[in-house]
Amino acid sequence: MTIKKIVVGVSGGVDSAVSALLLKNKGFEVIGAFMRNWDEIDEAGQCSGEKDFADAEYVCRKLDIPLFQVNFVKDYWNNVFLKFLEDYKSGLTPNPDLMCNKTIKFDIFYDYSKKTHNADCIATGHYARTSFGQFLENSEQGKNVKLLQAYDKFKDQTFFLSGINQRVLKETIFPLGRYHKNEIKSMAKKAGLEKLALKKESTGICFIGKRNFQDFIQEYIEPKPGNFIDIDTGDIVGQHIGIHAWTVGQRCRIASFKKPYFVAKKLERDIMVASGTDHPALYSNTIIGDSASWISDNPFSFSNKIRCQFRFQHTKPLVPCTLELDSASNKFVVNLDNPLRAVTPGQFGVFYKEEECLGCVRIINSFTK
C-alpha cells in the first residue's frame, strides 16, 4: 500500500498537532480536519468548540497545511448522545467516548476523508499502535491488523479504540504510539507550538464540561424519584431524584449515618446502597456481557474459552481473567482472578492479550459467585 495523502483529525490540542507535524516531516501530503461534534454553549456562556477550532487554525498555519472544518453535530447527536440518554433512562452508565470513536471518528470521519479528500488513510493523536507499524509500513493486502498498546502505558488509549473495525484500522495511522507524553510536548515546543504544549488537557465527557453531572442530566431526563434502600437491612435510608442520576460505586451523601453509603445496585426505581466503601456488595468477580466487537480475529475461533486480561476503566490495572462464550445464550462470561469494585452495567469490558487489544463487550450484569 502506497500512502501519499493523509487526513489528520486536528482537535486544537498538542497531541493531534504533533501527529500532523510528524507526518509532514515524513513527507506525506497532510490535510487537517477539525471535527465539530458538539455545539452547545457551556456553563460560562461560551462554546468550547470555537476555542479549539481557533487553536486548530493556529496549528495548521504554523505547519503550513490546509484545514477543513466538518460538522458532525447531527451524527453525534443521533449516534452517541441520544443513545447516551436512553442508557441513563434505563439505569445504565454508558461510555460516550468509546462510542464516539466507534461511530464518528473511526467511521463517519473515515468515510468523509476517503470520499471528500480521496485520502489514502486517516491519522489521529491517540496514543496507540498497530501491527502494521507507525506509518503502516508493514501493511499487506488481505492481512488483518492488530491494535497494540502505546509505549506510554499511562497515556495508552486503546481502551477507547476497542470498538474500531478492521476496515478503518487498516488505513489508520497513530503517529504518537511510540512516544511518551513528555516527548510530544518537547517536540511541540521545538516546532514553535509551545502554547499547545502548555494548554490544559480536556478531561471528562465533552458535552458536560465543568457542570455538575446531576444538574446536566436533569436538563434532558425527567426526574423519577425513588428510595435509597440499605442492601443489608432492607430499610429505606433516603430518597433520590431518579436512577439516571447515579452510577454503581458512587457515594450517595445520605445524612445522619456513621458510615457513608455507596450505590450497589439500581432497580427499576429504587437504588440499593451499601454502607462502607469496601462493602462486599460493591465487588464482583463474574461479569456478563453482550454486543461484542473483536478487532482483528474472533478469539473464539478454536475454543469457547480463553485466558486474557480485562479492564472496564482505562486508568485501572489489567486483571487476569477467563473469558467464555456461552453459545446457548450468545452472552459472554468473564471470570476475574481478582474481584473488582463497582463494575458498572452499560460500560464496556475491554480485553487484552499481552500488548494486543482484542476488543470489547458491553457489560449487562456483574456479581460475585
The residues with which 322 forms a beta bridge, in sequence order, are 307, 335
What contacts 236, CB < 8 A, 6 or more positions away? Answer: 227, 228, 229, 230
Cβ atoms of 29 and 7 within 8 Å: the answer is no
Side-chain half-sphere exposure of 230, counting CA atoms within 13 A: 12
117 in Cβ contact with 31 (< 8 Å) = yes
Q: Which of 156, 159, 72 is nearest to 113 (CA)?
A: 72
**What's 128's DSSP letter?**
-
Q: What are phi and psi of 223, to 5 degrees?
A: -60, 140
**What's the grid cell of residue 51?**
476555542
From the list 47, 60, 100, 121, the catalytic residue is 100
In three state form, how does the secondary structure of 224-256 look? CCEEEEECCCCCEEEEECCHHHCCCCCECCCCC
Sign of CA dihedral 226, 228, 229, 231: positive
Which grid cell is 134?
A: 507507525
Task: Work out the widest C-alpha separation in the chain, in whole angstroms.
Answer: 68
Q: In what order do the strands lie in the sheet with 236-240?
A: 236-240, 226-230, 271-275, 261-266
From 47, 60, 121, 206, active-site residue: 206
206 labelled catalytic: yes
The grid coordinates listed for 50 are 470555537
d(CA 168, CA 185): 28
CA distance 31 to 179: 22
Cα end-to-end distance, the chain, whole Å: 50
CA distance 224 to 337: 38
- What lies within 8 Å, CB to CB, of 18 at 6+ separation is 125, 175, 176, 184, 187, 188, 191, 193
CA distance 7 to 65: 10
Residues with active-site annotation:
100, 206
